[in-house]
Amino acid sequence: MSDSPRAELIKLETDRRLGHEWDEWDGTPLPRNGDFDSPPKLFFVWSAAATAVAMGLAFGVLWLLRPHLASISPRLVTVATWSVAILAALSWTWWALIAASYLLKRPLLPERLAERGLYLRLMSWTSRVASRFGRRDWVENASVKVYNALALIRQRKVKTGELLLLVPRCLSRETLEGVLEVAKRYAVPVFVATRGQLARRVIKERRPRAVVAVACERDMVSGLHDVAGKIPVLGLVLKLPSGPCKDTVLDLVQLENWVKAYVA
């Protein structure tokens, strides 16, 4: 019997509708053939704007509540104003530390205050702001790059059996074959997720110690938001040359690099 490592393909059945992130797609070709590759600095620009929007909303609510608070007690206005000002100062300090961690390639914040906690919230909020301006996919692409860079700084290692490779059902046949080759080479189990909920289920059942996840930007950001706080994840985004949810492709070299980043 051969001792060579074998890829393990796990499948779960589902009758749920697929690709809800793309419900509003009108069938027209995606910009740049579904390649939303963007520089990481795009995320910093948009996340700064999104933070400014959040702070503006906080000060706006404070301004609206001022008369009501003053009628109760003038001290309340002072306390509320200082609270919002301190929150704003902390938010910008934290944002600067995330940017410095990325630029210096050093973990200046604990995971819970960075890629496995607060950063995931910033990523989702920035995505919501960017979607208002039709820039969602580009900004999400950049945000996943920054997320991966922050995760890689930790230099976490696991055994091959402790890593799980999560891929979507929309991969083209050739791409899936390439993914299985990589998985076989490193003896990493592969799970083909037809829905994000099933991906979460298999993580719960298999209890991997780390995950390499593949998805389009939209699915990636929502998936990271739900999962990355519980388990270390590296994310690889797809290209969508045939539109969303069909015959998608990915960078197999990058996939192998992500697997190697975890597997010692």
One-letter amino acid at 55 equals M
Strands 190-193 and 210-215: unpaired
**From the CB of 195, what's the least distance to ligand SF4, in Å?**
8
Residue 175 CA: distances (Å) to CA of 169, 170, 171, 172, 191? 11, 10, 6, 5, 14
**Residue 173 C-alpha from the chain's centroid:** 25
Taking CB under 6 A as the binding criterion, the range among 18-26, 90-98, 105-113, 133-141 that sits at the site for ligand SF4 is 18-26
One residue of 18, 52, 54, 113 binding ligand SF4 per CB under 6 A: 18
Closest among 171, 175, 123, 177 to 147, alpha carbons compared: 123
Handedness of CA 78, 80, 84, 86 (dihedral sign): positive
**From the CB of 45, what's the least distance to ligand SF4, in Å?**
25
One residue of 109, 245, 250, 263 binding ligand SF4 per CB under 6 A: 245
The interface with ligand SF4 within residues 222-241 (CB under 6 A) comprises none
198 forms part of the interface with ligand SF4 (CB under 6 A) = no
One residue of 122, 139, 244, 262 binding ligand SF4 per CB under 6 A: 244
Strands 233-237 and 163-168: unpaired
One residue of 109, 150, 164, 170 binding ligand SF4 per CB under 6 A: 170
Q: Note the residues at the interface with ligand SF4 (CB under 6 A).
A: 18-19, 21-22, 168-170, 215-216, 219, 244-245, 248
